């Protein structure tokens, strides 16, 4: 799709992310309920959410606070959990690095798993062109608003949310919706399989390091398969199929 204007690109990004935004609502509700249940005031809970904008890191830090961990331990743990965003930003940098800092700093803050997945697919096709920034903003802003509103709802609803809703079930479904469209060739399939297997095997590592191990393993596998397959007929067919999609 070629965009007529920045607003057109923004609207397309927003339309793409809206179905995924519903997937973070259960996680946001759980985060808000957990924060209040551990003794934080509504103001502190919402302030923490605005500061972190990372559900996994926020949940782990809440648990560390509950256990009386040192502040430096909480900071280090949150940084380790969010190391994946370094990989995300490095992948998106070629498309957004020419922007002034007045735009790149807000983009860095608004980066999420969902925005990265959507933008990496769209940018790889070359569709946004000079409208890469508004497309990114279209995927990022609705996700940020949806997350913060869902946490706020959890904070103020508290324990009134029944367990029978099984809110946690929607979270993996939203990530599956991101994963499947990205599997377009042997390299991405290999990355997905290895990353998934490592995520299961490394699930019990401390400080959520299993996520980082799985991410690095998937990236290394994908790059290796892509390098080995360069120039082969199978790789050419995979690239042609990916472009056709």
Same domain, 155 and 77: yes
* pLDDT of amino acid 208: 61
With respect to residue 178, please indicate whether it lies within any of the assigned structural domains.
yes
Last residue of a domain, one of 182, 215, 234: 182
Same domain, 117 and 67: yes
Same domain, 143 and 190: no
Q: 0.85 cut: is pTM over it?
A: no
Same domain, 23 and 67: yes
The pairs formed by 212-220 with CB atoms below 8 angstroms and a separation of 24 or more are 212/80, 212/81, 212/83, 212/84, 215/84, 215/87, 218/191, 218/192, 218/194, 219/87, 219/191
Q: What is the pLDDT of residues 41-93, one digit of tens each?
A: 999 999 999 998 988 888 878 877 877 778 887 887 788 778 788 888 888 98
Same domain, 53 and 172: yes
pLDDT tens for the chain, residues 1 to 245 = 677 788 999 999 999 999 888 888 888 888 888 888 888 899 999 999 999 898 888 887 887 787 777 888 788 778 877 878 888 888 898 888 888 888 889 999 999 989 998 998 888 877 778 888 999 999 999 999 999 999 999 898 865 666 565 555 555 655 565 567 667 788 888 988 998 899 899 888 876 677 678 878 888 898 888 888 765 555 545 554 544 44
Nearest to 9 by CA among 121, 104, 122, 98: 122
Nearest to 10 by CA among 103, 140, 148, 111: 140
Same domain, 95 and 154: yes
Last residue of a domain, one of 166, 182, 198: 182
Same domain, 134 and 89: yes
Q: How far apart are CA 107 and CA 127, in angstroms?
A: 19
Same domain, 69 and 52: yes
Measured in degrees and rounded to the nearest 5, phi and psi for residue 135 equal -65, -45
Same domain, 175 and 189: no
Q: How far apart are CA 152 and CA 148, in angstroms?
A: 6
Looking at the structure of the chain, the number of domains it has is 2
With respect to residue 243, please indicate whether it lies within any of the assigned structural domains.
yes
Measured in degrees and rounded to the nearest 5, phi and psi for residue 240 equal -65, -40
With respect to residue 1, please indicate whether it lies within any of the assigned structural domains.
no
3-state helix, strand and coil shares in percent for the chain, rounded to the nearest 5:
85, 0, 15
* pLDDT of amino acid 182: 66
With respect to residue 98, please indicate whether it lies within any of the assigned structural domains.
yes
Same domain, 121 and 171: yes
* pLDDT of amino acid 175: 59
Tell me the residue range of the domain where 126 lies. 6-182
Same domain, 92 and 193: no
* pLDDT of amino acid 8: 92
Same domain, 61 and 128: yes
3-state secondary structure of 203: coil
């Amino acid at each position: 799709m070629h965009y007529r204007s920045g607003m057109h690109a923004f609207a397309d990004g927003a339309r793409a992310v809206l179905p995924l935004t519903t997937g973070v609502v259960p996680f946001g509700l759980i985060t808000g309920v957990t924060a209040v249940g551990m003794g934080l005031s509504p103001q502190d809970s919402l302030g923490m959410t605005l500061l972190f904008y990372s559900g996994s890191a926020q949940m782990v830090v809440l648990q560390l606070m509950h256990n009386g961990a040192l502040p430096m331990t909480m900071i280090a743990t949150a940084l380790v959990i969010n190391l994946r965003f370094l990989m995300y930003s490095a992948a998106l940098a070629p498309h957004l690095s020419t922007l002034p800092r007045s735009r790149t700093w807000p983009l860095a803050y608004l980066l999420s798993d969902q925005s990265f997945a959507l933008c990496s697919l769209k940018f790889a096709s070359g569709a946004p062109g000079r409208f890469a920034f508004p497309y990114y903003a279209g995927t990022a802003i609705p996700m940020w608003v949806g997350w913060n509103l869902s946490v706020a709802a959890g904070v103020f609803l508290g324990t009134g949310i029944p367990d029978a809703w099984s809110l946690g079930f929607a979270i993996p479904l939203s990530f599956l919706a991101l994963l499947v469209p990205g599997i377009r060739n042997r390299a991405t399939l290999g990355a997905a399989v290895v990353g998934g297997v490592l995520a299961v095997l490394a699930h019990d590592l401390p400080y959520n390091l299993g996520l980082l191990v799985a991410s690095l393993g998937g990236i290394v596998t994908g790059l290796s398969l892509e390098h080995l397959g360069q120039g082969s007929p199978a790789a050419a067919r995979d690239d042609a199929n990916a472009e056709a999609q």
